[in-house]
Amino acid sequence: MQNWPKIHDAMQHVDIVLFDQFSNHCLANLVEPLRATNGFLQRQHYRWRFVTLDGAPVQSSSGLQIAPDLPLTGADGTALMLIPSYGIRVMDRSEVVRAVKRAAGGAHLVGGFDTGAWLLARAGLLDGYRATIHWDMLDAFAEAFPDVDTVRARHVIDRDRVTCSGAMAAFDLVTDLIGSAHGAGVALDVAQMFMSRDAVPAMGSIPARRTVNRAVALMQDHIETPLSIPELARRVGCTQKTLQHRMQAALRASPSAIYRRQRLNAARRLVLDSELSVSEIAGRCGYDNASALTRAFRTAFGQSPSAMRRGEDQAGFGAVSPSGDRTGKMRRKAT
C-alpha cells in the first residue's frame, strides 16, 4: 500500500533540478498546481527552489533562461525532482549521475519528469521500482535498465519514487498527489483552474467520473441559479442516490458540498478579480443577499469577502517565488 503521508510531507519542500533543454511546459505543470493549491488552501503549504548542476543558469528548449537558487550540491529539500527533457543521452555522464545520486540520498521523495527517469535509473535509484518515461524512450529504457519494472503509463507513484511520461502527465501526477493530500475537491479546483471543467481527478470508476464530470459541468453552468440535487441527477440521467454514490467515490464529497464549493470559488474569483459589490457577487453566485454570501464565505475561507479583497491574511493566487512566498499583489479594490 502506498505510504501517502510520507509523500505528502516530502512534497512540501521541493528542489527542482533543471538541465539545459528542459521543457517549460513540464516545469509549469509541476510548479503551477502547487502554487494554485497554496492559494486554495490560503497558506504556503508547498515551497520549491530551482536547482542546476553547477548553479549556473540553464536554458529551456524554447529559449527561456532560468537563474537557479542553488547548485545541486546544496540541494537539501525533502523532495528532489529532475526535469532534463531533451538531450538525455548527452547528460548521461558519470559525473552527472554521481551528483544526482548524492543529492537524492538526503531526499524523502525522488522523481523523474519527462526523461528524468533515465538519470534516476542510471544512478540505481529505480532498481526494484515501477517507473515510466517519455513514450519515445520507453523501449530503450526498458532494455537499458532491466532491474527497473518499466510500465507504459502516464505517471507512476511507487513508494518514494515518482516518474511521469511528459508535460501533460506531469500535471496529472502533481494533481494526483494534491488530491491524495488535500482531497479530490482541491484537486478538482486546481484541474479546472488550468484545464477544463471536464477534469475530475482519476478516482472512482470510469462511469462514475463521466457522471460526475457531467454533474460538475451542469453546476458550473448554473452558478447564478443553482439546480436542486434531484434536478441535477435527473439531467445527468441517474438517480439522486447514484449521483451521491458516484460523486462520493470520485470526489469524496456529496453533490451539495461540491456545488457549494463551486459557487464559493466563483465568488472568490469575483472578489479578487472584479470591482463588483458583495451584493452583486452574491446574486451572481446563487445567494439571496450579501449577508448569506458573507456567512458562507467566512465559513469556507476564514474571512469575509471584503477582508479578502483588502488582502487581510490572504494567501491568494498571486505570483509565488521559488521559495513559495507570494511576490505579486493581486488587484483588489474596496467594495
- Domains, the chain, ordered by start: 4-181 (3.40.50.880), 183-253 (no CATH)
pLDDT in tens, 99-145: 999 999 989 999 999 999 999 999 999 999 999 999 888 999 999 99
Q: Take residue 308 and report the three cell numbers written for it.
A: 479578502
Q: Take residue 333 and report the three cell numbers written for it.
A: 479594490
Give 52's strand partners: 71
Give 163's strand partners: 112, 156
**Strand-pair category, 155-158 with 161-164:** antiparallel
Q: pLDDT higher for 331 or 118?
A: 118
- What is the per-residue pLDDT for 7? 64
Q: With b meaning 16 or more CB within 10 Å and e meaning fewer, what string describes 43-64?
A: ebbbbbbbbbbeeeebebeeee
pLDDT in tens, 226-285: 999 999 999 999 999 999 998 887 777 889 988 998 899 889 889 988 889 999 999 999
Cβ pair 271, 309 in contact under 8 A: yes
User: Where is average pLDDT lowest: 30-44, 85-99, 189-203?
Assistant: 189-203
Cβ pair 329, 310 in contact under 8 A: no
Distance CA 20, CA 52 (A): 9
pLDDT band at 91; cut points 50, 70, 90: confident
Beta strands in the chain, from DSSP E residues, in sequence order: 13-18, 47-52, 58-59, 65-66, 70-71, 79-83, 109-112, 130-131, 149-150, 155-158, 161-164
Cβ pair 143, 134 in contact under 8 A: no
Q: Please choose, from the candidates 282, 280, 310, 315, the residue with its C-alpha nearest in 3D space to the C-alpha of residue 296.
A: 282
